[in-house]
Structure 1
Amino acid sequence: MMLMSLLLVLSLERLITKSRYWHVETYAAMYRRFLNDKGWLKEESSSAHFYFYLLLPAVLLGLTEYWVLGAFLTFVEQSIVLFICVGCPALRATYKCFLNAADRGDLQACSMYTDQLGHCGASNESDGTATAEGKSFGQHLTWLNYQHYAAVMLWFIAFGAPGAVFYSLSRSTTEALCAENHPLRDNAIRLMFALDYVPVRITSFGMLMMGHFSRALPEWLKHALQFDISAYDVLTQISSKAEMLTPEEREQQTKNAAVEPKVLVKLAKRNVIFLLVITSALTVIGSLA
């Protein structure tokens, strides 16, 4: 069932332009407003309460699946929830705008679109090819692609629709708290570090399998059990090793800033296929339902 849901949702996500009502950010924002209106998301809220509020929707969904829905209705519900959680229309729009700006040779616009892809804790300054922390548009894009596709898929594979809801709600809340510089921001970042620890290493392993294995494997082994490096750095460093630009592509990159993002997007797409293949194999041998 999970494999069928993944194949169905990923196919539809590529074919259909989703409105805001078919994206998790809309409902995550509504849930945060509800918590704020009730006074449950205050600055003095404890970490335990904060984590409980993020986990609550996933728990309620899981109980509904177990006690109310049958097998077929659960399949329909899980497919709908996954369709809402996966993907990011804003990210896709920004990527298209960046490609258009790169084709025009508009480096100032490229810089603006690179800044728009900043993650929590990232610098807001960019020179069009890298932010102050040394990450390019393509590397930022690889990270956000992971957060909105690979990580959601892995949480869905592991825990079904409740897992996808919990991860997506936690990610959206972390981004919102970072933007507001909310006192609970550090709690949210710690939670996302824990939620991303295993999925980002699985995803980066898929990238080295789909990219340059011998060049990326030492980097993956170095970070496999590290607890003092962010998931963002793990993914971007390994992806840059797995898919390095050729001399011809580096020369083209000086003239067209879209070369590197296109190369890394192809790697990310191959990685999604790799995850689907592994899911298929696990389903065949009976490890997944």
Structure 2
Amino acid sequence: MSLISLLIALGAERHLSSPIWQFNFYYQHYLRLFNRISWINSSKSSASDNDGETATSSVIANTLFIAIPVVACYLIIEALDNSLLYLIVSTLVLIVCFGCIQTRNCYKQYLLAAFRGEPTTCELHHLQLLQDKNLMDMGFGQSLVWLNYRYFIAIMIFFVLFGAPGALAYRLLTKITEQNNTAVESDDIGSDLNKDVAADIQRSELPHAHNQAISVFSQKILFWLDWLPVRAVAFCYMLVGHFSKAMPVWLDDVFNIEKLPHVLLVDVAEASEDFMIEQGDCTAEPCLLVRLAKRTLLLCLAVIALLILTGVLS
């Protein structure tokens, strides 16, 4: 069932560009509902008056924010006693969790600007992507390598291991991390809803200490969730790229507990691809790394399929 859901979701995700198929559409609706729960808002308000309680309140609120939809998803799927319904629901959840149309559009606009010979516009798209996704300073192609892992490969892994609730939990956690430093994405949902969401977010805003506590909470969890999968995916990058060149990079950091996951993945990906960038060429790095990321995605899918067909994974 998991393999069928993966194949259907990967094939359908690119062609389903309607807002109803986008994760952000449901996230914003859920955010509005969650912010309107009176006892949560009252606890946030009391925490904002007491800096000592801010961190604890933030952790509790964010744990509930993730747990409620994940538990609901688990209960719904467990209540289904029909295999076909189980497949349909799991596949729908996976399609919604997969991908990010905003990142894909940013990549297209970046390439169009590069082909028009507008390096300043390319740089603006690059900076916008880093800001929207709350990423550290890295190249445009490097950002796409990391987001390919985060929006596709990691979700595939958590879906196969923990089912649709696992994929949903990971996607929610990444969204919370991104949302800390970003505004509401106006392209994914209707303008009227955006105004309401913006008002809700503004009403629920807390001091900087609150946002910092959320950021630390979510990033620590993601660090450990990504620690092992990133190293496995980085090994796949070596297999589809320049193995002998990337192997020393992978071996140097594979047991380094403090190495940030995105840094390790990007370092191995760059070592796995041979490319020479001419001065002023804005397309070479992202195009080559995106092609490498696509090959890695296919290899990861093949490995997962093999593990499922041999009975190692269910």
Same-fold call, TM cutoff 0.5? yes
CA separation of 1:160/1:13 partners in 2, compared to 1, >3 Å: closer, same or farther? Answer: same
Corresponding position of 1:125: none
Q: Percent identity?
A: 32
Cα deviation 1:114-155 (Å, max 9, x = unaligned): 112214253xxxxxxxxxx4x211101111121111111111
| Structure of greater relative contact order (alpha carbons < 8 Å, 6+ residues apart) | 2
> CA–CA distance in 2 between the matches of 1:46 and 1:104?
46
Report the TM-score when normalising by structure 2: 0.81
Amino acid paired to 1:143: W
Query: Which of the numbers 166, 170, 174 marks the counterpart of 1:167?
Result: 170
**Alignment partner of 1:239 is 2:264:** no
SS at match of 1:229: coil
Cα deviation 1:42-62 (Å, max 9, x = unaligned): 363152452243133222211
Corresponding position of 1:270: 295
SS at match of 2:40: coil
Unaligned runs of 5+ in 1: 123-132
- Greater alpha carbon shift after TM alignment, 4-13 vs 180-189: 180-189
Amino acid paired to 1:40: I
Report the TM-score when normalising by structure 1: 0.88
Corresponding position of 1:4: 4
SS at match of 1:179: coil
Q: Check the 8 A contact 1:99/1:258 in 2, yes or no.
A: yes
Corresponding position of 1:205: 235
Query: Which of the numbers 90, 105, 123 marks the counterpart of 1:111?
Result: 123
Q: Check the 8 A contact 1:88/1:148 in 2, yes or no.
A: yes
Query: Which of the numbers 112, 117, 128 marks the counterpart of 1:100?
Result: 112
Amino acid paired to 2:311: G
SS at match of 1:148: helix
Corresponding position of 2:282: 257
Q: Check the 8 A contact 1:20/1:26 in 2, yes or no.
A: yes
Question: Where do residues 1-289 of structure 1 align in structure 2 (5 Å cutoff)?
Answer: 1-14=1-14, 16-38=15-37, 39-40=39-40, 42=44, 44=54, 45-118=57-130, 119-120=133-134, 122=136, 133=137, 135-179=138-182, 182-183=211-212, 184-245=214-275, 249-251=276-278, 254-289=279-314
> CA–CA distance in 1 between the matches of 2:81 and 2:23?
22
> CA–CA distance in 1 between the matches of 2:61 and 2:24?
21
CA separation of 1:29/1:192 partners in 2, compared to 1, >3 Å: closer, same or farther? Answer: farther
SS at match of 1:102: helix
> CA–CA distance in 2 between the matches of 1:154 and 1:142?
16
CA separation of 1:69/1:57 partners in 2, compared to 1, >3 Å: closer, same or farther? Answer: farther
User: Deviation above 4 Å: which 4+ runs of structure 1?
Assistant: none
> CA–CA distance in 1 between the matches of 2:40 and 2:294?
39
Unaligned runs of 5+ in 2: 49-53, 184-207
Cα deviation 1:140-187 (Å, max 9, x = unaligned): 111112111111111111111111100111111111123376232211
Corresponding position of 2:199: none
> CA–CA distance in 1 between the matches of 2:5 and 2:58?
37
Q: Check the 8 A contact 1:103/1:256 in 2, yes or no.
A: no
After superposition, the CA RMSD in angstroms is 1.8
